[in-house]
Copies of this chain bind each other. A is one copy, B any other.
């Protein structure tokens, strides 16, 4: 249980509702900012204005998955007011407080560093990233169904990268009856892909693998679907790039060649906000419990 742990949640979307619900179950002391348009009532939760004083007792400041944008704005769909994380707020935070988000941008990273506040990026955790890969794969499947005129069943797919997201996606496509080739680096992943019934190849051979491809999924965050690769794709092929912005595709060249190429947005919050919220809540609670245990041991 998180009895007595002071958590401040600032901003966010439907996913944070699940986080609030789960923190309540754990008996944390919760203050939420940026939820004034939300009508759901959360018994025992304090609603407050976003001002530095709200952070004075905080053990944890929970930001939305994206953290802040590049000028410190915290996205908050349940309010019309602007929430910004600035020096004033950071000065108000106890030095022992940690800031939690999904993945941080440079602004937030630098701010935390400057104020010697520990920043925790939940999506860097392997377990959270693997759980999150499930809604990501389902979102990718949805995009594939919407953007092709064929079924995924029986289609020729390539998944680039067999990491946390790539493996889930390859298995999901296989489960739907697609023929799946996987582009990997390293003999171990090649062997694993073979064992799992995928047709593996090494990433540098990509341009030789694309002749009859219907769907090309990328999870590798480097420029990998180059003009040369795109030039070898059939015109019917659709590229779905799941790597974080700016993706790993030469989108300009794809457009020029008339090949549909889509940079997927962050899918979990779109296709399964409740599941995505639960994943964040589980990861967060586990870390807060650990922090609390350490504080207990220290006193």
- Among B141, B145, B149, point to the contact of A139 (Cβ < 8 A): B145
Q: Are B175 and A272 in contact (CB under 8 A)?
A: no
Who on chain B is nearest to A135 by CB? B151
- Interface presence of A79 (CB below 8 A): no
Q: Are A274 and B134 in contact (CB under 8 A)?
A: no
- Among B134, B146, B177, point to the contact of A175 (Cβ < 8 A): B177
1/0 per residue A174-217: CB within 8 Å of B? 11110000000000000000000000000000000000000000
Query: How many copies, total?
Result: 2
> Which residues of the partner chain B approach A274 to less than 8 Å between Cβ atoms?
149-150
In A104-154, the 8 Å CB interface with B consists of 134-135, 138-139, 141-142, 145-146, 148-154
Q: Can you list 17 A-B contacts (CB < 8 A)? A: A134-B151, A134-B177, A135-B151, A138-B151, A141-B141, A141-B145, A142-B142, A142-B145, A146-B271, A149-B272, A149-B274, A150-B275, A151-B271, A151-B275, A172-B177, A175-B175, A175-B176
Footprint of B on A, CB under 8 Å? Answer: 14, 134-135, 138-139, 141-142, 145-146, 148-154, 172, 174-177, 271-275
> Which residues of the partner chain B approach A154 to less than 8 Å between Cβ atoms?
134, 275
Who on chain B is nearest to A142 by CB? B145
Q: Are B14 and A176 in contact (CB under 8 A)?
A: no
> Which residues of the partner chain B approach A172 to less than 8 Å between Cβ atoms?
175-177
- Among B138, B148, B177, point to the contact of A152 (Cβ < 8 A): B138
Identify the interface centre among A134, A141, A145, A274: most chain B CB within 10 Å of its CB: A145
In the complex, what distance in Å separates the CA atom of A135 from the CA atom of B141? 13
In the complex, what distance in Å separates the CA atom of A150 from the CA atom of B278? 10
Who on chain B is nearest to A277 by CB? B149
Additional A-B contacts beyond A14-B149, A149-B274, A150-B274 (4; CB < 8 A): A134-B151, A145-B271, A151-B271, A172-B177
Known: A141-B141, A142-B142. A275 touches B149 (CB 8 A): yes
